[in-house]
Amino acid sequence: MTLRTLLLVLVFSIQSIVAQHMSGALLLEKAIQYHDPFGNWQTFQGEFNVVMEMPENPKRISQISIDLPSEYFKVKAIRDTVTTEYIIDQGTCLISLNGKTDLSKAELFSNNLSCDRATLYKNYYTYLYGLPMKLKDKGTNISETVNRKTFKGKDYLVLKVSYDESVGSDVWFFYFNPESFAMEIYQFFKTDENGNLKPDSGEYIMLSETETVNGIVMPKIRAWYYNRDDAFLATDILEK
C-alpha cells in the first residue's frame, strides 16, 4: 500500500468516525456557522435577484427584498412582457400586474394572482435562501442520526429533517460537505398516508458556487431535478 493510499484510507476512516459520533444538532450548528458565521439571519435585511432558466420557457427574473425585523417581503417577477409584484408588509398584502394595483377579481383569477400566492412566495424564498438557519424554526424535527452517503460520486454528511403536521408532510435530506460543512444538496420526498416516503416523488437540488448577501453565504446556482428519473427541471441563479 502506497503512502497516498494509506493517507486516503485514514482520511475516510476519520470522516466515517466523525459522522458516526456527530449528532444531527451538532451538524446543523456547524453548517449554520459556515453559512451564517456572524449570526445575521435573524435580523436579515437584503435584496437580491434570482434568474430562473427552464427548458423551452422564457427566462424569469425575480427581484427579491426581505426585511425580517420589519416583517416585510417583496418579489417582483419579470417574464417576457408581464411583470407581477407581491408585497407583504406586516401581514398586509399588495398585488400589482404590470404596475396596476387596482385589479378586478377577473384579472386576479385569470393571472393566478392572490394573497395566498404572495404568502407562498414569501415562505418559499425565505426558506430556501434562509437555509440551513431555517431548520431551527419551530415545528422542524431534526434527526439525531447523521448518515454518510455518496451522491453523484461525492461523499456527504446527510441530515434528515421532518416537520410537524401543521408545518408540512414532506421529508427533506440535507447533504453537507464533510470538511467545510457547506450545504451542497437538498432533497425532498412526499409521504403517503402512513408517513412513509414515496421514493418516486419529490426533487433534489444541486447547489454550486456561493454569493454572500449581508453576511449570509447563499448558494449562487441551484439546479433542480426529479428524484424519479433525474430529469432536469430548472436552474436558479442568484445575482446581487
Question: Residue 18: is its pLDDT beyond 60?
Answer: no
What value does the CA radius of gyration of the chain take, rounded to a whole number of Å? 20
Tell me if 211 sits within 8 A of 238, measured CB to CB: yes
The alpha carbon of 203 is separated from its chain's Cα centroid by a whole number of angstroms, namely 12
- pLDDT of 135 reads 97
Q: What percent of the chain has pLDDT over 90?
A: 85
**Whole-number pLDDT of residue 12:** 47
> Which 3 state secondary structure label does DSSP give 101?
coil
- What is the greatest pairwise CA distance in the chain? 75
C-beta of residue 30 within 8 angstroms of C-beta of residue 18: no
Number of residues written out for the chain: 240
Mean pLDDT of 95-110: 95
CA 198 to chain CA centroid, Å, is: 20
Predicted confidence (pLDDT) at residue 184 exceeds the cutoff of 90? yes
Cα 77 to Cα 61: distance, rounded to the nearest angstrom = 6
Phi/psi zone of residue 162: left (φ > 0), alpha (ψ -120 to 50 degrees), beta? beta
Q: How do residues 185-210 score in pLDDT, each as one tens digit?
A: 999 999 998 888 899 999 999 999 99
pLDDT at 214 (0 to 100): 95
Question: pLDDT digits over 138-154, tens only?
Answer: 999 999 999 999 999 99
The pLDDT score that the predictor gives to residue 177 is: 97
pLDDT more than 70, % of the chain:
92
56: left (phi over 0), alpha (psi -120 to 50) or beta: left
pLDDT for the residue numbered 51: 97
pTM: 0.88
What pLDDT is recorded for position 165? 87
Interacting residues of 69 by C-beta distance below 8 A, sequence separation 6+: 43, 45
Q: Tell me the average pLDDT across 29-48.
A: 97
Q: pLDDT of 60-100, one tens digit each?
A: 999 999 999 999 999 999 999 999 999 999 999 999 999 99
So what's the pLDDT on residue 194? 85
Rounded to an integer, the average pLDDT of 172-185 is: 97
Pairing of strands 154-163, 60-67: unpaired
Let me know the angle formed at the C-alpha of 215 by 85 and 128, rounded to the nearest 5 degrees: 50
The Cα–Cα gap between 67 and 78 comes to: 21
Residue whose grid cell is 409584484: 85
